[in-house]
Chain A
Amino acid sequence: MKRIFTALMVLALALVVSSCGGKGSSGTIVYGTTDKVSDMDTANAYDFHTWEIFQNINKGLLTYTPGTTEVIPGLAESYTVNDKGDEYTFKLRKGLKFTSGKEFNADAVKWTIDRAIALKGDPSWLITDYVREVQVVDPLTVKFVLKGPTAYFPTMVAGCPPYFPLDPSVYPVDKVVKNPSELKGGALVGLGPYKCTSFKRDEEVVLEANPNFYGDKPKIKKVIIRYFADATTMRLALEKGEIDLAFKSMNPSDINDLSKNDKLNTFKMPGPFIRYLTFNCDVSVFKDKRLRQAVSALLDRKEINEKVFLGQNEPLYSMVPQGMIYAQQNFKDEPGDANVAYAEKLLKAAGYSAKKPLAFDLWYTPSHYGDTEVNMAEVVKAEIEKTPLVKVTIKSAEWATYKDQWRNKQMACFFLGWYPDYIDPDNYTAAFAGTNGAIGNGIYFSSKMWDDLFTKEQTVSDPKVREELFAKVQKMWVDEVPTSPIFQGNLYVFTKKNVQGVNIGPTLIFNYDQLHFEKK
């Protein structure tokens, strides 16, 4: 018995020693995240993380200077706009090849757009709402004919993956690709600085530098994305040095601790993602805008930020986040936070009292936005119930059911979040209060006056006029309150001390090719 025991101990020791020899190589970065990849197809994927991967393995005709909102030439070396503002002609770079070897030309661009329109995927509205057709003028010139003048069209071409050209010889034209193994050649193909060499859903995705890329080659030759099931494990992995970089999404308490850790770099950026409270303005008790105003006035955004997020985000006082052009803070002064008197006045006028309180269900979804949701719901309930004239019941539904329920107008009041599709205040306003957008988000608010305002700001190109229009919209928001903003997020990226180059700007685009190791 004793001998067996000793033998086991020796073996164990040997294993410990051998496993300590790390496999780190100086050209590889291990990037940890708790996000998930959805479909590996730009025509259907509509989530932040998958878009991030696309922005590194694909490229748009235009692109951004990393870390800024400056639109610069991408796959196209230049473009022109007609006077009306509804025709954009792009001149493509010469001699570019997809990682499959196929030549890149205008046909590929047209093919990609046509395919996205035909497949009618989740993000396809970003194309179909704007593009009437794409014309191939010659192998290196392509013209986008829009449905109407759109001042911010270049931002969409630069930032939205559905516009990034795909290889027609690899992607199937009639179905959405979920896994790279379905493609010809079994791997993803693109024109970006990296190419994807290995894909294991929910475990790892491996990217390697793309030798065919037209621009500066990335300094880090290999990026391994590791998927973690929960933030706690990821935080510990980072602290132990098992991963080099961690991004999205970490618990507030972890962010606090990691920020104070001397052995790590903290990159904090304002992230134009917002969270807000949504009202069903059509068939629920919130058809009456006074009640929407009342409930909105009871929110204490500062407290929510402190209690739930330990102060790591920013309270938001308009649907347009700070840092975006034309952003204001209309909810701040009147009614401001936790204005119980204001709310009670409205409630009483609508006929509610302590004996007959306004009763409604407040819905949240437990994991889609992270597991702080339940805490936010609990805090908001406590805030709303500071007045005895309202009675709140918290309810929850998983994301699948949640979406179903808002389509079916079954939720009177619920939490939603929003990551920008393109960087323009239109994406934060028309998307919720324009008739079409409101239906898509379960708000069902509709007003001709608002729609007219939105049409105007979308088509006019004079920034002064747009600024006026958006000021008006944001002011009207406090009156109609189809949604009530709660906070805008900050993004935190943590890296090992020697990893630099994290440069995520207001566009939220994370360019892996900017990363590099710094010798200390």
Chain B
Amino acid sequence: MRRVLNYLIGRLLLTVPMIFILLSLVFVVLRVMPGDPVSAMLGGHAPDSVIEKKKLELGLNKPLGAQYVDYLGQLARGDLGKSMIFEEPVWTSISAKLPATLELTFFGLAVCLGLGVPLGVRAARNRRNGHDFGIRLYANVVYCIPVFWLGLMLQMIFGVFLGVFPIAGRTGSRVISSEFDTTGLYVIDTIIHGDIGALGDVLFHLALPALTLGITLSGVFVRLTRANMLDTLKADYVLASRARGISENKVVYGHALKNALIPIVTMLGLQFSALLAGAILTETTFSWPGMGRLLLERIYLRDYPVIQGVIVVYALLVTLVSLAVDLVYAAIDPRVEL
């Protein structure tokens, strides 16, 4: 147990430099940008004195280094600051949108694995015939489809022409989310409140965005699964299982797949960044009120604290997930020692 703790602490400590580096990069970039939150807030009519006063208030007149140190000190205390535009605590703005992104990412991942792994297994079982080639073609092509284009195509086909799925937002216009909102994860919230109608509505709104996100990333998992399955299926114990007369299905799904899963878990960790990036584009296309859209809006408004806060949160997410993946990996693979 001690070893696990040490390992955890060690890894968590490593996140500090990463966040530090990324934050510094963004911090400098933001303040070098033309435009600033005060101009964004006030109209062109505001007299210079008002603008100067506001800048003083927000600390924007201090030298870059001083502002930087101030912000780091703030962060060290766990305080993300307040929005310069809306005077709302940054964490409030982010925590309002974070669940939306998490929900989308989760379901996107579910689709991704739900498509990728079975297809990969299928390809491995049918190697070198039509199914195999078709699936491999799919895997290669799908990675090159721009996420937002796929989103638009799905919107067009299923949303506009067929009218089956909604094309934007998390809930329908007549569903008032404040009636069930507790965690922000609407699927869970509606179940807790027992509102089946709302649950259906929420799931329908998740359908196209999750599909878009999941499909584009599934290609990687198809190939990975296939390659790993092929390797595993050649192993001695598989041959032995077959010789003993165990059914092919059991061999494939019971024994081989379990072992092939390990690299998939690792790949999950690596692909999480791609998932987050894809989520931003998906959020834009489907008007999904998540962190990606928050980031874009606040960049537009030059709301420095919120932009910085979002970057920090993304960095934290990435590190936490990769940490979790490492732990899971260590847990399921008996060969790995922490």
Query: In the complex, are the beta carbons of A229 and B172 less than 8 A apart?
Result: no
Query: In the complex, are the beta carbons of B36 and A404 less than 8 A apart?
Result: yes
B-side interface size class: 35 or more
Select one of A16, A178, A200 contacting B88, CB under 8 A. A178
A122 cross-chain contacts in B, Cβ below 8 A = 42-43, 45-46
Q: Is B254 interfacial (CB 8 A cutoff)?
A: no
Select one of A21, A32, A404 contacting B35, CB under 8 A. A404
Q: List 6 A-B contacts (CB under 8 A).
A: A21-B197, A23-B197, A122-B45, A200-B178, A224-B174, A401-B35
The 5 closest A-B pairs by CB, nearest first: A15-B200, A19-B200, A400-B40, A229-B287, A401-B35
What per-residue 1/0 map shows which CB atoms of A1-31 lie under 8 Å from chain B?
0000000000000111011011110000010
A405 cross-chain contacts in B, Cβ below 8 A = 34
Q: Is A115 interfacial (CB 8 A cutoff)?
A: no
Most buried by A among B44, B196, B203: B44
CA distance A259 to B28 in the complex (A): 49
CA distance A486 to B57 in the complex (A): 40
CA distance A23 to B172 in the complex (A): 10
CA distance A66 to B197 in the complex (A): 39
Residues of A216-265 contacting chain B, CB below 8 A: 224, 226, 228-230, 233, 236-237, 240, 242-243
- The chain A residue with its CB closest to the CB of B284 is A229
Residues of B157-197 contacting chain A, CB below 8 A: 159-160, 163, 167-169, 172-178, 196-197
Select one of A23, A228, A407 contacting B174, CB under 8 A. A23
Q: Is B50 interfacial (CB 8 A cutoff)?
A: yes
Q: Is A46 interfacial (CB 8 A cutoff)?
A: yes
Q: Is A203 interfacial (CB 8 A cutoff)?
A: yes
Query: In the complex, are the beta carbons of B300 and A24 less than 8 A apart?
Result: no
Q: Is A398 interfacial (CB 8 A cutoff)?
A: yes
Q: Is B261 interfacial (CB 8 A cutoff)?
A: no
CA distance A432 to B149 in the complex (A): 43
B47 cross-chain contacts in A, Cβ below 8 A = 120
Q: Known contacts A122-B42, A233-B169; decide if A204 and B176 are in contact (CB<8 Å).
A: yes
- The chain A residue with its CB closest to the CB of B47 is A120
Main secondary structure of the interface of A (DSSP, over half): mixed
Query: In the complex, are the beta carbons of A237 and B35 less than 8 A apart?
Result: no
- The chain A residue with its CB closest to the CB of B170 is A203
CA distance A56 to B240 in the complex (A): 78
Q: Known contacts A15-B204, A19-B204, A236-B167; decide if A206 and B176 are in contact (CB<8 Å).
A: yes
Residues of A within 8 A of B (CB): 14-16, 18-19, 21-24, 30, 32, 46, 120, 122, 125, 178-179, 182, 198, 200-204, 206, 224, 226, 228-230, 233, 236-237, 240, 242-243, 367, 397-401, 403-407, 440-442
Query: In the complex, are the beta carbons of A30 and B300 less than 8 A apart?
Result: no
Query: In the complex, are the beta carbons of B300 and A242 less than 8 A apart?
Result: no
Query: In the complex, are the beta carbons of A233 and B44 less than 8 A apart?
Result: no
Query: In the complex, are the beta carbons of B160 and A178 less than 8 A apart?
Result: no
Select one of A178, A204, A240, A397 contacting B87, CB under 8 A. A178
Query: In the complex, are the beta carbons of B174 and A401 less than 8 A apart?
Result: no
Query: In the complex, are the beta carbons of A442 and B35 less than 8 A apart?
Result: no
Q: Is B39 interfacial (CB 8 A cutoff)?
A: yes
CA distance A229 to B285 in the complex (A): 10
Whole-angstrom distance from the CB of A459 to the nearest CB of chain B?
A: 22
